Amino acid sequence: MNVKDKTIVITGGGSGVGRELVLNLLTKGARVITVDINESALLETIKFAGEKADKLSVHVLNITDRDAVELFSQKVIARYGEIDGLINNAGIIQPFVKVNDLDYTTIDKVMNVDFYGTLYMTKAFLPHFLKRSEANIVNISSMGGLFPVPGESIYGAAKAGVKLFTEGLHSELRNTNVHVTLICPGGIETDIKFNSGAEKNRKDENEIKKAVIKPVKPAKAAQIIIESMEKNKFRVLLGKDIKALNFIFKLSPRLAENLINKQMKSHVPE
């Protein structure tokens, strides 16, 4: 699906990859409707859109509130008439804490935002998409949803749920006009750890420079995601790190687990 002149809904458009998705789509000539729970972040996205902001509509929305999501979908469909695509980008991670020490409030929040938020948005728009001549759903999983990451087990479980949900949805819709794309990113140079409360300080630039495999910049990640949507790709591994780890995991799951544990040792308290 060529995104030019199409209307696309994006979750988490107030920062990081979500904001870059908004800006990239606007540059390509799409109309963008984006939601975020952070109103001030949405206003910043409008500023970044500049002269293209006339094709951008922003809405404060808690995607974990099923009734609010349903009402939102009804309102935007009524207003714009036709919605062509949905990118479920919004997500948070958990603090780097083992399951035994993780409180249920945090567990519920991570599962609700990462899995149920994706499910609610998809369910809300799917009936409309099935009536369109063509539509796209893009769901963002994670490296943590493919491989075991100590201290991020609940986040990983939520993103693994997104992965299997998306793959199942792809299978269910294979003979319809609705295309489904699964994106599995590795490390991306965003403030997700800080914004989610997993770390007290934003990522140090020197730490990024020292990394053996550099994280993908948000703008590049957004470009790959949108190109994947336009090409109706099924499953995309985004980043050199996740591709390398995927290769190692196929050879030896135990070796991959050992490498991940070694990498995470400084983050997860014993």
Tell me, what's the pLDDT at 211? 44
Residue 1 lies in a domain: no
Domain count along the chain: 1
The closest of 52, 58, 46 to 29, measured between CA atoms, is: 52
Residue 270 has pLDDT above 80, yes or no: no
The enclosing domain of 231 has a CATH number of 3.40.50.720
In terms of C-beta density within 10 A (0-12 exposed, 13-18 middle, 19 or more buried), how is residue 175 classed?
Answer: exposed
Per this entry, what is the length of the chain?
A: 270
Catalytic residue IDs: 155
With respect to residue 270, please indicate whether it lies within any of the assigned structural domains.
no
pLDDT tops 70 at residue 226: yes
Are the C-beta atoms of residues 33 and 9 closer than 8 Å to each other?
A: yes
- Between CA 162 and CA 143 the distance in angstroms is 12
Q: Residue 121: left (phi > 0), alpha (psi -120 to 50), or beta?
A: alpha
- In this structure, is residue 54 part of a structural domain? yes
Tokens of 95: 């603090």
pLDDT exceeds cutoff 90 at 190 = no
What was the pLDDT predicted at 188?
95
Q: What is the mean pLDDT of the chain?
A: 92
126 occurs within a structural domain = yes
Query: Does 195 have pLDDT greater than 90?
Result: no
Range of the domain at 98: 7-242
What proportion of the chain, given as a percentage, has pLDDT over 70? 90
pLDDT digits (tens, 9 = 90+) for 91-114: 999 999 999 999 999 999 999 999
Does 187 map to a domain?
yes
Mean pLDDT confidence for 25-30: 98
Domain-located, residue 259 = no
103 within a domain of the structure (yes/no): yes
249 assigned to some structural domain: no
The one-character DSSP state at 216 is B
pLDDT at 260: 87
Determine if the pTM surpasses 0.75.
Answer: yes
Least confident of 25-29, 87-91, 143-147, 201-205: 201-205
CB of 9 within 8 A of CB of 61?
A: no
Asked whether the predicted pLDDT for residue 53 surpasses 50, the reply is yes
Statement: residue 154 has pLDDT above 50: yes
